[in-house]
Amino acid sequence: MAAALAPWALRQAERLLVLPPDPAAAAPYRQLPAHDLLHAVACHATSCDADCAGSLPPPPGLVRELLCRPWRDEALELLRSQADALRRRLVGDTVTYVVNRNLNVSNHCVQHCSFCAFRRDPGEAGAYWLELEELQERARQAARAGATELCLQGGLNPAAHLDGSHLAFAERLLRALHEAAPGVHLHAFSPQELVFFAERDGVSLDVVLERLRAAGLGSVPGTAAEVLSERVRRVLCPEKLTAREWVAAVLQIHRFGLPSTSTLMAGHIETPADLAAHLLTLVALQGAARERSLPGFSEFVLLPFVGQAAPAPLRSRVGRDQPDLQAMLCLTAQARLVLGGWIPAHQPSWVKLTLAGATEALRWGCNDLGGTLMEEHITTMAGARGGTAQTPAALAAAAGGLGRPVRQRTTLYALLP
């Protein structure tokens, strides 16, 4: 167990983490026609005029049934149209995007996730570690190009410390980027990276959050969530935070007043029950943030698994190198319905689905096209075909092709002129 996590957060995480519902939980919903099933889920998503459940999370069995059904033909179109209608009701027709730059600082990593084609040991072919001056130069370039956000993520690098302190190294990095690109929002360090700094330095996660916020941290990517199911994590990422620990870390991040995104990596060895547990856990976390009027999750991002360059055991077990677009669109719509009013902003990944696939996802419940990125390495090294950068014009044209208005936004979804 991660000693850096607060006991209160671990206790609350135990209560909030939703376990994969078993088949019996779905039995009451199994005979429901598609329309009635979708209506039942949508009624939980946001209050409607009929006799509905309003803002209570949908029951786990209902979500399991939604995710288990083989959606085809008219039923699939009904699913898509319901998700699209809910998107319109919650956030309107405007498609948003953020002008940002990714900075994948280093791929040196102490862990060995079974899906990861990014990590390297130092000295191994393809290993890299960007110098501070180089990162500052890229930050300046991004600011000149109009970026409002720098997104920092990388491996868990055991050598990235200053006089033995990983936290001091991370602080120096944020301050250097802030100096190079003043006013640009720093969206940095996954819950896993933050806990890594804390554990290496022997301090609490709260100390890490306090010092990094003082150094300019504006929000946290909700990555390393993968699938919040202990069974799945034992295969995908046994060295990472457990699902309960990830939930505890996010509770602490939110309690600190720092917003985060939420993610789901899907399309590998997970089951519909695992997906149901993951989505409902995100709902529970957002409910906990709202109870305290905390910022919580700013968006939900579906990250389809790309297996082309993944380590062989998982790659052969999944048996697919690129995402199954139709399955991911179906999951996009299901996630929109389950997350409902709890997480209104939904973003597909053009890196993983290609821009054409991400644009299609705008018809399945998404309302945001993500960032320009300017450079992307993690998924590209896994064999993704979406490219490493998009221009604002390309993102605007993609959304405009659907006849939807387009607006640039900030990291936290304020619309820009």
User: Where are the strands (E) in 21-172, listed by range?
Assistant: 95-98, 100-104, 149-153
Length of the chain as a residue count:
417
Residues 60-79 that bind ligand SF4 (CB under 6 A): none
**Token pair recorded at residue 323:** 């995402």
| Nearest to ligand SF4 of 58, 155 (CB atom) | 155
| Nearest to ligand SF4 of 60, 155 (CB atom) | 155
# residues contacting ligand SF4 (CB under 6 A):
10
Residues 183-242 that bind ligand SF4 (CB under 6 A): 237
Angular region, 256: left φ>0, alpha ψ -120 to 50, beta rest: alpha
Helix (H) or strand (E) holding 363: none
For residue 407, what are the β-bridge partners? 96
| Nearest to ligand SF4 of 118, 342 (CB atom) | 118
| CB 282 to ligand SF4: min, Å | 20
| CB 121 to ligand SF4: min, Å | 11
**Token pair recorded at residue 149:** 């956000």
If one asks whether residue 358 binds ligand SF4 (CB under 6 A), the answer comes out as no
For residue 108, what are the β-bridge partners? 120
**Token pair recorded at residue 81:** 């149209």
| Nearest to ligand SF4 of 233, 244 (CB atom) | 233
Residues 81-120 that bind ligand SF4 (CB under 6 A): 109, 111-113, 116, 118-119
Our CA dihedral for 101, 367, 219, 253, rounded to 10 degrees, sits at -140
Task: Annotate each residue in 151-180 with x if it binds ligand SF4 (CB under 6 A) or - if it does not, as one string.
Answer: ----xx------------------------
Question: What is the residue whose two structure tokens read 């950068």?
Answer: 389
| Nearest to ligand SF4 of 303, 399 (CB atom) | 303
State how far the Cα of 291 lies from the Cα of 103, in Å rounded to an integer. Answer: 34
| Nearest to ligand SF4 of 118, 364 (CB atom) | 118
| CB 111 to ligand SF4: min, Å | 4
Angular region, 50: left φ>0, alpha ψ -120 to 50, beta rest: beta
Contact footprint for ligand SF4 (CB under 6 A): 109, 111-113, 116, 118-119, 155-156, 237
